[in-house]
Amino acid sequence: MALVLLPHLLMLVFPRWKDYIGSMAQTHPIAFTKMNGLGNDFVVIDARRNQTVLTGDHVRVLAARDNSDTRGCDQILVLHPPRGDGHVFMQIFNSDGSEVEACGNGARAVAVFLAAQGSATCTLETLGGLLHARATHENAEIDMPLPKFTASDIPCSADQEDMGALTLHADLPPAFMVNIGNPHAVIFVETGTAGLAARYGFELENSQHLPAGANINFASHDGATVLRLDTWERGAGLTKACGTGACATAVAAVERGLMRAGPLTIRPPFNTHGNDVDVLDITYTPGELLSMRGPVTYEFDAETMLESAAG
């Protein structure tokens, strides 16, 4: 009799007990790999065999810096079976839960991830285009999409044709606007980049002229072929490095005539001693080639529990 009455008693004490038990049953383990490219860190989920659907809430939980399993990250990278001629489709989420088109350092991390499985060369499909990659176990080179400069490609709603000199803030030099699979604003300064991304990044990302937002890059010369870069990433905020930002900055420097076409070195903000290891090497030849090469660090493999997306 007690067993028969138990559900009724539970309903009186805890009216939503069925929902509670059901939600417990809907959690399942997700395996992931933690990696970083120059400190720009990622949770990589290989969903090529076991389909994984992430919601914005899932992403924000996984990316939170107080998450004891993942230890937080800048982006979540989910690998799916290819949709076309590539080897894998790379789905990219920023830490705020938004899905985005491109992530240069993330692409390098995935290339190294696949190289560890035996694919030293691969083609990554992204929402921003195809990326051809070559990787070892600790370094990767990516052929990026050629840059686009028109207002519709960026996109930018400002009433001007010249996207090479767009005023986003009265206190700052004009920005060079470019799309490298995702939108970027590059602002060259002469007094050093320290603190500028933190001060202006969020405001400029959400400029009225940028309907889809943009990554905001502050760059300064650090040598004949060297640029120092500080980036505010759209949907992620301040990061230790930004691969597409490095590419956009190299493109802007060449297109503006500040540097010659060819190999350029981009130093992230933490590389204060000017070492040649913690850098991104960007090669840009207008109309022909845009490539990025740099180190990748494997951190750890782990599992976390994820609540199933509602069906």
Residue 218 lies in a domain: yes
Same domain for 214 and 127? no
| 170 is a domain residue | no
Average pLDDT over residues 27-43: 94
The answer on 302 and 269 residing in a single domain is no
Residue 221 has pLDDT above 60, yes or no: yes
Mean pLDDT of the chain: 90
pLDDT (tens digit, 9 = 90+) per residue, 251-308?
Answer: 999 999 999 999 999 998 887 777 778 899 999 999 999 999 999 999 999 999 988 7
- Identify the CA nearest to 98 among candidates 196, 201, 182: 182
Cβ count near 131 (within 10 Å): 25
Q: Which amino acid, residue 151? A: A
The pLDDT of residue 275 is: 75
Given a contact cutoff of 8 angstroms between Cβ atoms, the answer to whether 98 and 109 are in contact is no
Residue 30: the pLDDT is 93
- The beta strand positions in the chain, using DSSP E, are 27-37, 40-46, 75-80, 88-94, 99-100, 121-126, 129-135, 139-143, 176-179, 183-188, 215-223, 226-233, 237-238, 262-267, 280-285, 289-295, 297-307
Does the residue 106 lie in any domain? Answer: yes
Average pLDDT over residues 65-79: 97
The answer on 279 and 195 residing in a single domain is: yes
122, 156, 242, 247: which one is catalytic? 242
247 belongs to the catalytic site = no
**Residue at 2 is within a domain:** no
pLDDT in the model for residue 311: 47
pLDDT for residue 309? 60
Active site includes 73? Answer: no
My answer on whether 51 and 108 are in the same domain is yes
Question: pLDDT-based confidence at 169, cuts 50/70/90?
Answer: very high
Say yes or no: 204 and 229 in one domain: yes
Q: How many domains, in total, are found in the chain? A: 2
Domain co-membership, 302 together with 263: no
Residue of higher predicted confidence among 80 and 192: 80
Answer yes or no: do 224 and 122 share one domain. no
Instruction: Please determine, for residue 104, whether its predicted confidence score (pLDDT) is greater than 60.
Output: yes
- Residue 204 lies in domain: 176-287
User: Which CATH number does the domain housing residue 83 bear?
Assistant: 3.10.310.10
Q: Is residue 134 pLDDT above 70, yes or no?
A: yes
Residue 10: band (very low, low, confident or very high) from pLDDT cuts 50, 70, 90 = very low
Place of tokens 């083609």: 123
Within-domain flag for 215 = yes
- Kindly state whether residues 261 and 195 are assigned to the same domain: yes
Q: What is the pLDDT of residue 159?
A: 84
pLDDT tens digits for range 116-130: 999 999 999 999 999
Percent of the chain's residues with pLDDT above 90: 78
Domain shared by 209 and 136, yes or no: no
Q: Please check whether residue 208 lies inside any domain of the structure.
A: yes
Catalytic residue among 103, 122, 156, 247: 103
Domain annotation covers residue 59: yes
Are residue 140 and residue 226 in the same domain, yes or no?
Answer: no
Do 127 and 188 lie in a common domain? no
Interatomic CA distance for residues 37 and 133, integer angstroms: 15
Do 61 and 139 lie in a common domain? Answer: yes
Query: Which pLDDT belongs to residue 17?
Result: 47
Is residue 164 in a domain?
Answer: no
